[in-house]
Each structure stands twice: as structure tokens, then as C-alpha cells.
Amino acid sequence: MKSISIEAPAKLNLGLQITGMREDGFHSLASHFTKISLSDTLDVTLTSKKNISISCSGIEVPTDKNNIIWKAASLFKKASGYSEGISIHLQKNIPSPGGLGGGSSDAASTLLALRELLNTNLNLFEIAEQLGSDVPFFLLDSTSAFVTGRGEILKAVTLPQFHCILVNSGEQVPTPLAYRLWDQHNKALTDTQVIHNNTAYNFGAWHEGKPFPVKLDNSFFVTLQSSFPGFTGVAEKLSEVTDNWGLSGSGPVFYALFRSSAETEKAKKHLSGKFPWMFCCQSR
Ligand code: C5P
């Protein structure tokens, strides 16, 4: 039986602006996506059975058709004509929902693994778009991208290296609810021109002590504060250790960025015990 092991990295949204409402009901956005060292692992095996089976260790997630991995494998079978079975073991480390793209990354890694195992040159981007807005990004070789449209317009960029602390407010924020709340409360679209003007990939400056070269504001933060009171406390505590903090996606995970492991350790001591979940990692 042919088998492959593949890593599925988490992402951070380094800033996220909602820039428009689309006719298909989705929102257009502008955000810098970047992959980080926190990851899941998938062991993907081709089997002689006809079905798709999933097992899981680590953080508990559904192992049936509701798992996006199952949907990815199923769409791949349909598109490629492969009719035998697929068995996938998922070591789940990325909290969900988190705003870290864990499910989307698992789905993209499933597609990449199957393409490798079956040696096809199927266009995975078409399948990825059907699976979810964040899935196309995880097909890119590039670590970071400026992402627009619904999430499918990708421009690879290079950002400075960083260390980060991830924390969770402890609240559950499903993505569709976050967009619904934004529709109800806000609708203040960000002019895309403003985003481009604020985007200068100036590496030296960040490592010389200036703020991170990409604006870290997130359109969801103010909107979600009233429904998720934990957000305010997290923002206050992270502000005590750095100006370079932000909300990833629609949360509930926030990040704080640091230039060195020494700075990270100092901040970690200050923040220790103040959140239901905390994790230290790095850029890729
Ligand atoms: O594409 P994904 O499955 O991540 O989207 C989940 C939900 O989030 C969508 O059904 C939609 O309500 C909302 N969404 C949106 N605009 C986006 C991405 C997601 O409105 N760009």
C-alpha cells in the first residue's frame, strides 16, 4: 500500500480587512497570510477498499463526512477518477475553531498528498476553492502571501522572521457567525488603497525595533468584542508585552510577535497562567 506523511501548517492573519460584499454572499478581504511552525500531520495511504476512512489522535475532531479532510479526499476521487480507497490518520495539534486555518490546511495537505501518491497533475486550486476560502493559500509553496478576493487571489510575499506567542480567549467563534455579526454591526468596508499604502515589506526596520511592517489591524476585532467579552481582556494583556499583536482570522486565537526567543521568553513569563491556552512558535 502506497503511503505518504505530510505536515499541515497553521497560518496567522497578519492584519485582515473586509473590503467588500460579494454577490455570492461571501465577503472580499485583504490579508497577509503566513504559515507558522505549529502544524498537524497527516499519514495518507492508498488502500484496496473503496471507502475513505479517517482516524485521529491529539485534539478530538469528527472522523466522518463532516471532516473537511473527507470532503477533500472525496472531491479528489471525483476529479481524478481514482476509485480505490483512501485511509488518513490525522495527528491534530491546531486548535479549531481558532482562526489558524487548521481544517483548511489539513484539506490542502490531503490534496497535495493524493496528487503525489497518484502522480497526477490535476489542478488542485479548482478543488481547493470548493472546499473553503482559506484552502487555496495552503497549496502555495510560499510561506506568506497577500490574499484578496474571497481568499483565492494570492500574491506570494516575503515577510520578516518572527517568534510568536499564541493565546486563546477560551470562547468559540464559528467563522460564519463572525461574518454574520460583522454584517449586523459594522459594514465599514476598508478602502483597498489604504491597505496597499500601508504595506511596506521593510525587514531591517522590524529587526531594528520598529513595528512589524504589515498593519496588524483586523476588521473582526471591534465587531466581535461585544459578543465575545474575552477578546478585550486578551487584547489588554497582550498590549502589556508588545505593540505587535493581533487577532488571527475571526479568532478566538490572538498572536503576539517578537524579534527573538529572549523577548518571547520574557513575555511568556508575564503572560503565564492568564489564558486558557497558550503556545509559543515561530514563522517558517
Ligand atoms: O469558505 P469558508 O468555508 O471558510 O467560509 C465559511 C463561512 O464564512 C461562509 O459560509 C461565509 O458565511 C463566511 N465567509 C465569507 N467571506 C469569506 C470567507 C468566509 O462571508 N471571504
Task: Write b or e for each residue in 188-221: b if 16 or more Cβ atoms lie within 10 A of its Cβ, otherwise e.
Answer: eebeeeebeeebeeeeeebeeeeebbbbbebbbb
Q: Give the distance (Å) from ligand 1 centre to CA of residue 176.
A: 6
Q: Helix, strand, or coil here: 178?
A: helix
What pLDDT score does 1 carry? 83
Atom number of ligand 1 nearest to Cα 27: 16
Residue ID of nearest Cα to ligand 1 atom 12: 176
- Chain Cα centroid distance, residue 113: 19
Count of beta carbons in the 10 Å neighbourhood of residue 142: 15
What pLDDT score does 197 carry? 45
Q: Give the distance (Å) from ligand 1 centre to CA of residue 69.
A: 17
What pLDDT score does 188 carry? 61
To test ligand 1's pocket by mutation, which of 106, 138, 175 has the most ligand atoms within 8 angstroms of CB? 175
Residue ID of nearest Cα to ligand 1 atom 13: 176
What pLDDT score does 202 carry? 66
Which residues of the chain register pLDDT less than 50? 197-198
CB of 175 closer than 6 angstroms to any ligand 1 atom: yes
Question: What is the distance between the alpha carbons of residues 115 and 98, in angstroms, rounded to a whole number?
Answer: 28
The sheet carrying 245-247 orders its strands as 245-247, 253-258, 163-168, 277-282
CB of 132 closer than 6 angstroms to any ligand 1 atom: yes
Q: Which of 13, 231, 228, 8 is nearest to 139 (CA)?
A: 8
Atom number of ligand 1 nearest to Cα 29: 21
- Specify the amino acid at residue 128: A
Contacts of 250 (CB under 8 A, 6+ apart): 97, 99, 173, 175, 178, 179, 220, 224
What pLDDT score does 193 carry? 54
- Judged by phi (left if over 0) then psi (alpha if -120 to 50, else beta), residue 169 lies in alpha
Atom number of ligand 1 nearest to Cα 149: 21
Contacts of 177 (CB under 8 A, 6+ apart): none
- Summarize pLDDT for 50-81 with one digit per residue, the tens: 899 999 999 999 999 999 999 999 999 999 99
- Residues serving a catalytic function are 11, 134
To test ligand 1's pocket by mutation, which of 133, 186, 190, 224 has the most ligand atoms within 8 angstroms of CB? 133
Contact 217, 15 (CB under 8 A): yes
To test ligand 1's pocket by mutation, which of 31, 100, 135, 179 has the most ligand atoms within 8 angstroms of CB? 179
What pLDDT score does 33 carry? 97
- Summarize pLDDT for 229-279 with one digit per residue, the tens: 999 999 999 999 999 999 999 999 999 999 999 999 999 999 999 999 999
CB of 11 closer than 6 angstroms to any ligand 1 atom: no
Contacts of 265 (CB under 8 A, 6+ apart): none
